């Protein structure tokens, strides 16, 4: 009886897996048609009909590739490719929900590159020792339902499922209602799955890599994120008959706080960031002093101490400004995440593999929040960045060159294979 080919021989027969860029770009293009908006961007707010359509498309691709697909109670969708041994999987993934003026790469690239890695392993007939999983998490953006990274946060145990399901969005409906409405209130328990390691490929969404001409970012961590919703209540009155000294103008206090937040960001060291992205005045009419102002404040910093100081200074100013104008101010936290450091073993492997593949690489923190920062609470996690043209994101003109996508997906492939043995 001829000797069975030994492992080395069998291994030699397996072609080395490779990223098929055309296939990956075709999927990016196809997904970008779901919720497509003027200018080449995408609007797929979490749990919207467009999000459902995107989910159906990607989950269909996952099943076509033979993955065992499960949907958990917060709507996270995970596909697992079996390994030789029934061990905790190595996972990759990101999100496919977008902001209202989203691009086609934010989140989507990480999910579809994960899918491409699965396809490459299938094509090469490779069976890794550990299972390889790929996922898309619910409501990473937090633009409709706060906080951001909601699905991965619930999965990790940082936000109770029932609290997440009760969360009201900017349109007054809840996460639970919408999850059921789009048919993604899954029956798999949240957070039941052990994960051996997690790696997320994502566009940088900032200007650094392009500015320095570097192809790969070995992401060291994610900066702290602090979101607050303020409501200011004053007295509506006639714009033409009310003397300035007698006003209780909710709108001007909101605007003073927004301007002060920018001043604090300028004065503080360490790259403090401040953004007022949403502001709504009531009754929102040209000749009526607003009696209500609602606005959000997004404060971020890689340094937790400086971030805390920024919060303290803006909040103190807000109280004083409200008192001076004789209006009432209340606030509620929408998100409060400390800075996260990724696992040095993952960061250094991203660096080394990028170099082995002949790419320039640099270490850098992430300005944006990502699902990887939540997975980092439960397993070794890290991220791979690729350049964003003109540093644009959360903008329909968001773009990343094909050769950079291929580079990032190649590093992801090698790292996942290494981690999965």
Binding-site ranges for Mn ion (CB under 5 A): 106-107
Say which residues have a Cβ less than 8 Å from residue 404's Cβ, sequence separation at least 6: 215, 386, 387
Look at residue 382 and give the partner it binds from Mn ion, ligand HGY, none, a contact being a CB closer than 5 to 8 Å depending on partner kind.
none
Query: Which of 106/406 has CB closer to Mn ion?
Result: 106
Closest listed residue to residue 313, CA positions, set 244, 263, 360: 263
Query: Which of 97/116 has CB closer to ligand HGY?
Result: 97
114: helix, strand or coil: helix
Tell me the C-alpha distance between 117 and 232, whole Å. 50
- Min dist CB 372 to Mn ion, Å, is 10
- Min dist CB 106 to ligand HGY, Å, is 7
Residues that bind ligand HGY (CB under 6 A): 140-142, 148, 368-369
- Min dist CB 381 to ligand HGY, Å, is 16
Query: Which of 180/392 has CB closer to ligand HGY?
Result: 392
Look at residue 200 and give the partner it binds from Mn ion, ligand HGY, none, a contact being a CB closer than 5 to 8 Å depending on partner kind.
none
Query: Which of 184/227 has CB closer to ligand HGY?
Result: 227
- Min dist CB 410 to ligand HGY, Å, is 25
The answer to whether 275 and 297 have CB atoms below 8 angstroms apart is yes
Look at residue 148 and give the partner it binds from ligand HGY, Mn ion, none, a contact being a CB closer than 5 to 8 Å depending on partner kind.
ligand HGY
Tell me the C-alpha distance between 80 and 92, whole Å. 10
The answer to whether 219 and 386 have CB atoms below 8 angstroms apart is no
The token pair at 33 is 């048609």
Look at residue 142 and give the partner it binds from Mn ion, ligand HGY, none, a contact being a CB closer than 5 to 8 Å depending on partner kind.
ligand HGY
Query: Which of 346/368 has CB closer to ligand HGY?
Result: 368
Question: Per-residue DSSP letters for 264-305?
Answer: HHHHSSS--EEE---EEEES--TTEE-SEEEEEEEEEES-HH
- Min dist CB 95 to ligand HGY, Å, is 8
In the 8-state DSSP scheme, what is residue 145? S
Look at residue 97 and give the partner it binds from Mn ion, ligand HGY, none, a contact being a CB closer than 5 to 8 Å depending on partner kind.
none
Query: Which of 144/349 has CB closer to ligand HGY?
Result: 144
Look at residue 107 and give the partner it binds from Mn ion, ligand HGY, none, a contact being a CB closer than 5 to 8 Å depending on partner kind.
Mn ion
Tell me the C-alpha distance between 169 and 46, whole Å. 10
C-beta nearest to Mn ion: residue: 107
Query: Which of 93/142 has CB closer to ligand HGY?
Result: 142
* Dihedral angle sign, alpha carbons of residues 209, 212, 216, 217: negative
- Min dist CB 91 to ligand HGY, Å, is 19
Name residue 293's beta-bridge partners.
Answer: 232, 281
- Min dist CB 401 to ligand HGY, Å, is 21
10: helix, strand or coil: helix
**Can you list the alpha helix ranges (DSSP code H) found in 74-224?**
108-124, 150-156, 161-166, 175-181, 208-212
- Min dist CB 188 to Mn ion, Å, is 23
Query: Which of 148/249 has CB closer to ligand HGY?
Result: 148
> How far, CA to CA in Å, does 373 sit from each of 50, 153, 390, 406?
26, 9, 25, 24
């Amino acid at each position: 009886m001829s000797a069975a080919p030994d492992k080395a021989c069998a291994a030699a027969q397996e072609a080395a897996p490779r990223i098929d860029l055309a296939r990956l770009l075709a999927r990016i293009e196809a997904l970008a048609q779901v919720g497509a908006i003027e200018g080449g961007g995408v609007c797929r707010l979490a749990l919207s009909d467009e999000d459902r359509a995107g989910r159906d498309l990607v989950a269909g691709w996952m099943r076509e590739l033979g993955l065992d697909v499960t949907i958990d109670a917060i709507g996270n969708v995970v596909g697992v490719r079996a390994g030789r041994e029934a061990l905790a999987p190595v996972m990759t993934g990101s999100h496919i929900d977008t902001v209202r003026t989203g691009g086609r790469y934010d989140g989507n690239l990480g999910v579809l590159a994960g899918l491409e890695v699965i396809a490459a392993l299938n094509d090469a007939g490779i069976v890794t020792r550990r299972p390889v999983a790929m996922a898309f998490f619910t409501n990473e953006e937090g633009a409709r339902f706060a906080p951001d990274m909601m699905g991965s946060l619930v999965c990790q145990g940082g936000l109770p499922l029932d609290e997440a399901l009760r969360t009201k969005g900017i349109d007054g409906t809840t996460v639970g209602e919408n999850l059921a409405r789009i048919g993604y209130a899954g029956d798999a328990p949240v957070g039941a799955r052990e994960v051996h390691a997690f790696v997320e490929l994502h566009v940088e969404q900032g200007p650094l890599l392009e500015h320095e001409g570097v192809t790969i970012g070995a992401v060291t961590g994610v900066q702290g994120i602090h979101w607050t919703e303020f409501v200011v209540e004053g007295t509506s009155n006639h714009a033409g008959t009310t003397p300035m000294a007698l006003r209780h103008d909710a709108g001007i206090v909101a605007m003073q706080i927004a301007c002060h937040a920018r001043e604090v960001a300028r004065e503080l060291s360490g790259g403090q960031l401040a953004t007022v992205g949403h502001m709504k005045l009531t009754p929102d009419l040209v000749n009526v002093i607003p009696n209500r102002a609602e606005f959000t404040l997004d404060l971020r910093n890689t340094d937790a101490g400086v971030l805390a100081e920024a919060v303290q200074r803006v909040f103190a100013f807000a109280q004083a400004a409200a008192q001076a104008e004789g209006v009432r101010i209340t606030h509620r936290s929408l998100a409060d995440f400390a800075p996260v450091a990724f696992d040095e073993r993952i960061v250094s492997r991203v660096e080394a593999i990028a170099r082995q593949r002949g790419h320039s690489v640099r270490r850098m923190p992430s300005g944006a929040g990502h699902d990887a920062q939540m997975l980092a609470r439960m397993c070794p996690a890290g991220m791979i960045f690729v350049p964003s043209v003109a540093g644009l994101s959360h903008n329909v003109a968001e773009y990343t060159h094909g050769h950079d996508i291929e580079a990032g997906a190649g590093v992801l492939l090698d790292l996942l294979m290494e981690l999965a043995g």
